[in-house]
Amino acid sequence: MKNQIEKIKNTAQKEILATKTLKDIENLRIKYLGKKGELTAILKQIGKFSDNEKPIIGQLVNEVRDFINYSIEAGIKEIKDSILEQKLNKEKIDVTLPGIYRSIGHKHPLNIVLDDVKEIFIGMGFDIVEGPEIENDYYNFEALNMPKYHPARDTQDTFYISENILLRTQTSCVQIRTMEKTQPPIRMISPGRVYRSDTIDATHSPLFNQIEGLVVDNGVTFSDLKGTLETFIQALYGLDSVVRFRPHHFPYTEPSAEVDVQCFGCHGKGCRLCKNEGWIEILGCGMVHPTVLKNCGIDSEIYSGFAFGVGLERIAMRRYNIDDMRLFYENDVRFLNQF
């Protein structure tokens, strides 16, 4: 019996060494160690032996079983290692090949300018506020002191959705929404898209961007307005830029003004860039009309404020010397890659 067990051990060892695949080695495990395997068969006959022999044979079978088990595990590891090695030999990596570079997007010129504008106003303590692009007639016109049939409505060709709902023609409506919700002190700017049914050309588009500004507090005066806007313009265009305030009219401010900067092209002499005027208009502003304050529940005896509205495209065109605003919307990468 001892010889028979030794024989099993030796053939098992030979066969395990000769296997080349994981499947073959699994079959050997079944052949020797499985329920119907050769070692199990011997254990089943153990009853035939004398009490002296039983423990000796039992121990021998266990030793051989451990040995075969160990050899099979070692064989599996060897086969797996060699499969991996073959794979690695096949997959050569050429570290000298050039990498694949993906081109990364960047900011649109309008966003570059907008971020600069925000930064300047945040530095002066302003909040950034947003408002809806689909507005009620009330916020876009009525509360801004432009009742129905007011002539100033004609200057802003409006896309109406229904009688009272429209695409906002200006960001000034965010002034009203802000004052309705917040008691002074208020210091905010509100950038966003506005819509007018204009025919598209080099200086007009049915969609463009404005930045509204509003300050309301105790004792705010026209000189606060001048100081704030001059600081803004000099931060944007350089300390040497020359600014002028010109009287104007807006229904929601009194007094009102337009602000021009001296032309960068000709320094006031007159050139193609400024249409020979020497000055370029960049924003509208004024002291918030008492009626507008009243419409929002703010007591104009206690508080006063100023407001302004800037066209984003216009300041971006000035900054980059672009003479056709359509370039901003066409998404031509040859244009966009220059910023």
Binding site for ligand DAH (CB under 6 A): 170, 172, 212, 250, 253, 284-286, 307-309
117: exposed, middle or buried (Cβ count in 10 Å: 0-12, 13-18, 19+): buried
**Shortest distance in whole angstroms from residue 175 CB to ligand DAH:** 6
d(CA 201, CA 324): 8
**Shortest distance in whole angstroms from residue 192 CB to ligand DAH:** 12
Length of the chain measured in residues? 339
Cα–Cα nearest to 13, from 67, 63, 85: 67
**Shortest distance in whole angstroms from residue 334 CB to ligand DAH:** 32
Residue nearest to ligand DAH (CB): 309
| Cα–Cα separations (whole angstroms), residue 145 to 149, 287, 303 | 11, 13, 18
Strands ordered across the beta sheet of 186-195: 127-128, 186-195, 207-218, 303-311, 279-288, 253-262, 243-250
d(CA 67, CA 293): 95
Between 64 and 174, name the residue whose CB sits nearer to ligand DAH.
Answer: 174
Between 38 and 212, name the residue whose CB sits nearer to ligand DAH.
Answer: 212
Task: Answer yes or no: are the C-beta atoms of 139 and 177 closer than 8 Å.
Answer: yes
Between 191 and 284, name the residue whose CB sits nearer to ligand DAH.
Answer: 284
Between 31 and 226, name the residue whose CB sits nearer to ligand DAH.
Answer: 226
Between 32 and 308, name the residue whose CB sits nearer to ligand DAH.
Answer: 308
Strand pairing report for 303-311 and 279-288: antiparallel
Half-sphere exposure of 15 (CA within 13 A, CB side): 17
**Shortest distance in whole angstroms from residue 309 CB to ligand DAH:** 2
**Shortest distance in whole angstroms from residue 332 CB to ligand DAH:** 28
**Shortest distance in whole angstroms from residue 152 CB to ligand DAH:** 10
Strand-pair partners of 73:
none
Between 25 and 280, name the residue whose CB sits nearer to ligand DAH.
Answer: 280
